[in-house]
Amino acid sequence: MFNQDRWQEIFETIRKNKLRTFLSGFTVALGIFIFIILFGFGNGLKNSFQEFFLDDATNTMFIFAGKTSEPYKGFKANRRIEFTNDDLYDIKDNFPFFLEYITPRISRRATVRYKNEFDNYTTRGVGPDHQYAEKTIMMEGRYVNELDVKNKSKHAVIGRLVARDLFKQEDPLGKFIDVGNSVFKVVGVFQDDGGDNEERFIYIPYTTRQSLEKGNDKIDQMIVAFRPELGYKGSLAFERQLRVFLKEKKVIAPKDPNGIFIRNIADNIKQNQQFANVLQLIVTFVGLGTLIAGIIGISNIMVFIVKERTKELGVRKALGATPKSVIQMILQESIFITTISGYVGMALGVFLLKNINETLEDYFIKNPYIDISTALFATLILIIFGGIAGYIPAKRAASIKPIVALRDE
């Protein structure tokens, strides 16, 4: 391999057969280039998909209250169940093993006004942990905090689009807005990957909402997050125990399907994940197909090259080249060319993917990328198969009697 003389002979051959070198190199480079681009696009498609469906935290459950459908322990059917603040504390106290955080959510429509601008928005009375459940991203200021909840502060965190519509160019931070006839101070502006609607919410402390409604302690719904390390199965166990606990507390028949509803996000996630996996499978399949096409391409070229060189190989053999040295020469040349051009194709592909970045987002391809190990692996595969593709015709050519090869005009 490291015989300097042999390398010199190979470089000479490469230098003097530019078309041949170009053809085989081009095939390999193109193969690996297309593979990387397609694979990268596939990953970009997956990114878009994940952004659409997985913009919220994935370890949460939504708990709603409804009406019972069965009479139980002296209560009639059709009784309305309502959550109150102490349900939050009870869940917190009883499920320390499962629970990561819990936050209420009280949604109300309200007309919101700033100076002459006004519009209808949904306000959400929440706790500080709601930020994690929605993966709310703060652009300015801060989110609702514990102190706000404790003091029932009239502080509001507004969405990016609320800020844009009401405040135009003005900085909303520290300004006062009128929310359903009470004055709130804007303490933060947020954005959300979930789309425009999610950026039209206004978050306020849930205690503030309760005090505005005659100081009650009622809660619409609770968002419970379980520890992610529990996984899907753990979340199902948590869901089951939570249901039993709440039904007992609210005195609902254990068999009653209504009264309390729990929507486990993990269920949705699982379906979406399956779809993502199918997408991944398609990406892999397309990648493999491209790679195989590349392998076939280089195989064809190698067969052609060896065929073209049959006479030359015959001359070399008549002059004393052993079959081994003939095979070695062809292999070393082909591996050298495939390695160099494979690397070039890979580099070009990765470079292009890096530069595409956001430009194809309209076509649902976001941040296309390929991890370097996949790229290297594919290049290596192509080099190995290029070698094998060269080896088979080379071996045949080397075993042709020189007299036959010399007759080949």
Enumerate binding residues for another protein (CB under 8 A). 5, 8-9, 12-13, 16-17, 311-312, 314-325, 398-399, 401-403, 406, 409
Comparing CB distances to another protein, the nearer of 77 and 321 is 321
Q: Exposed (0-12), middle (13-18) or buried (19+): which is 187, by Cβ within 10 Å? A: buried
What minimum distance in Å lies between the beta carbon of 360 and another protein?
A: 45
Tokens of 115: 């100076």
Closest CA to 305 of 94, 17, 5: 17
Unique residue bearing structure tokens 């008549």:
318
- Nearest-approach distance from CB 341 to another protein, in angstroms: 20
What SS3 state is found at 238? helix
Q: Between helices 231-249 and 265-308, what is the axis angle to 10°? A: 170
- Identify whether the C-beta of residue 67 lies closer than 8 Å to the C-beta of residue 259: yes
Query: Which two tokens mark 31?
Result: 């193969």
Residue 7 or residue 176: which is nearer to another protein going by CB?
7
How far apart, in Å, do the first and last CA atoms of the chain sit? 32
Q: How far is the CB of 315 from another protein (least distance, A)?
A: 5
Closer residue to another protein, CB minimum distance, 140 or 312: 312
Nearer to another protein, 214 or 324 (CB): 324
Q: Indicate the residue among 141 and 323 with the shorter CB distance to another protein.
A: 323
- Nearest Cα to 110, choosing from 192, 213, 215? 213
Q: Which DSSP state fits 227?
A: -
Rounded (10°) CA dihedral 386, 387, 389, 392:
170
Nearer to another protein by C-beta: 99 or 315?
A: 315
To another protein, the closest distance from the beta carbon of 321 in angstroms equals 5
48 CA to centre of own chain: 7
CB of 16 to another protein, least distance (A): 4
Shortest distance (Å) from residue 310 CB to another protein: 12
